[in-house]
Amino acid sequence: MKKPFVTLEQLQEMTKTYPTPFHLYDEKGIRENARKLKAAFAWNPGFKEYFAVKATPNPTILKILHEEGCGTDCSSLTELMMADRCGFSGSEIMFSSNDTPAEEFVLAAKLGATINLDDFTHIDFLKDTIGYIPETISCRFNPGGTFSIGASEEGFQVMDNPGEAKYGFTREQLFEGFKKLKAMGAKHFGIHAFLASNTLSNEYYPTLSGILFQLAVDLKKETGCDIRFINLSGGVGVPYRPEQPANDIAAIGEGVRKQYEAILTPAGMGDVAIFTELGRFMLAPYGHLVTKATHFKHTYKEYVGVDACAANLMRPAMYGAYHHITVMGKENAPCDHKYDVTGSLCENNDKFAVDRMLPEIDLGDLLVIHDTGAHGFSMGYNYNGRLRSAEVLLKEDGSTELIRRAETPDDYFATLIW
């Protein structure tokens, strides 16, 4: 059973200051999780987590992670700007983009970020854009074909299809790319790959690391390039459903260590650093969307309307994704009522839950929608003129802090030319 990290009494007090809906984050949980990840890879002296800014682009959250030793993974101009303003600098920033505009490479280079190239043609584009090839450079690898392991968010076998993904170099392009970059002045190299999303398997990272470690050995042997780091990117998931088992990050780290000692160490590459770019794993469980029951509708189904909508959390509407819902104060009540939990958008897919068994809901009840700490607020939008909600931090001492105010109509109209 999923339990909220906040009590009804706490939420009732918060709503006196912060009208629903709002996104709430748990500082204590975020810090503890970051420390668990760091401990799991402590065997690798160069280990660093580069938090995927796209998951939760909030300065307060980024500063908390910075204090815990994390860097940032950025994929756009504004994410680079945010990382810079939050105090990240140089090698604390990884820039992984695709179909990249020139101005983004310019800023990444200016900030001293490690640039992770997505395509062979970007080698010349980068050189033409900034006038040189950085001494440290990374390339994204796409092995093609299909990749299968473990369980996905919905509990099925993960069967991702890298061959259909728009990202990365082929193996042949990667070897040629390393040779070309070395000839153009690059001295230190990294390898990056992402093969599957939100895996619920302790075997994903070890399996991926085995592929990348052997690739690194082959690259060094054929190209002579100095490979300094291997970036396992993201893909370690979280259990959105209460019956799903959580990943064991300590077991995952140990699995990667075994691959490292079996492949890299014997090849004389025991000084290679391991990087990760986790977003969902780092933040999703430590965010709630807090909303209030505002309407009921009794037609062919039983509907409960809430004051949040897909503009606040679009994953259920976009992917049919499951997010657990707790009716606060009724945690121990029987789930004997079937509801569709809906928002107010003029779209039929604006539903947080379909045919969900929940306790009987009364008007004014506060609902917590779980696991919204990543890809929750960040995917918000203004369809139907709906305004994005506030973000609030539940601090370690139990107090709260507004870390992003709610949008107003003035914000919505600010960019219009009348």
Calculate ∠ Cα 396-398-401, nearest 5°: 85
Domain ranges of the chain: 8-23+286-413, 27-284
Per residue in 19-30, pLDDT tens?
999 999 999 999
Exposure b/e, 222-233, CB count within 10 A at least 16 = b: ebebebbbbbbb
Q: What is the mean pLDDT of residues 314-327?
A: 95
* Mean pLDDT along residues 284-294: 98
CATH, domain range 8-23+286-413 = 2.40.37.10
Read off the pLDDT of each residue in 213-234 and give the average, rounded to a whole number: 97
Torsion, CA 366, CA 367, CA 371, CA 377, rounded to 10: -70
d(CA 361, CA 344): 18
pLDDT score, position 146: 65
Residue with tokens 């001295």: 187
pLDDT (0 to 100) of residue 17:
98
Question: What value does the mean pLDDT take over residues 101-119?
Answer: 97
Look at residue 154 in the predicted model and tell me its pLDDT. 44
The predicted pLDDT at position 257 comes to 98
Question: At residue 366, what is the residue type?
Answer: L
Q: Kindly report the CA angle at 57 between 212 and 53, in degrees rounded to 5?
A: 10
User: Given the structure tokens 């809901």, which residue do they identify?
Assistant: 361
Instruction: Report the pLDDT averaged over residues 186-211.
Output: 93
Residues 6 or more apart whose CB falls under 8 angstroms from that of 320 comprise none
Which of 82, 134, 85 is closest to 113 using CA atoms? 134
pLDDT at 164: 60
Reply yes or no on whether the pLDDT at 373 is more than 90.
Answer: yes
Phi/psi at 83 (5° precision) = -60, -45
CA distances, 133 to each of 116, 219, 275 (Å): 12, 19, 22
Question: Are the CB atoms for 369 and 291 separated by under 8 Å?
Answer: yes
Q: For position 161, what pLDDT does the model report?
A: 58
Report the alpha-carbon distance of residue 289 to residue 396 in Å, rounded: 19
Q: How far apart are CA 240 and CA 242, in angstroms?
A: 7
Distance in angstroms (rounded) separating the CA atoms of residues 187 and 219: 14
Report the chain's mean pLDDT, rounded to a whole number.
94
- Confidence check: pLDDT of 2 > 60: yes
- Report the distance separating Cα 90 and Cα 8, nearest Å: 43
For 330-341, the pLDDT digits (tens) are 999 999 999 999
> How would residue 166 be classed by pLDDT, with cut points 50, 70 and 90?
confident
pLDDT tens-place string over residues 111-160: 999 999 999 999 999 999 999 999 999 999 988 766 665 544 444 344 45
Q: Which two tokens stand for residue 325?
A: 């819902």
Cα dihedral 103, 107, 109, 115, rounded to 10, equals -80
**Under CATH, what is the fold of the domain 27-284?**
TIM Barrel (3.20.20)
For 98, phi then psi, to 5°, come to -145, 150
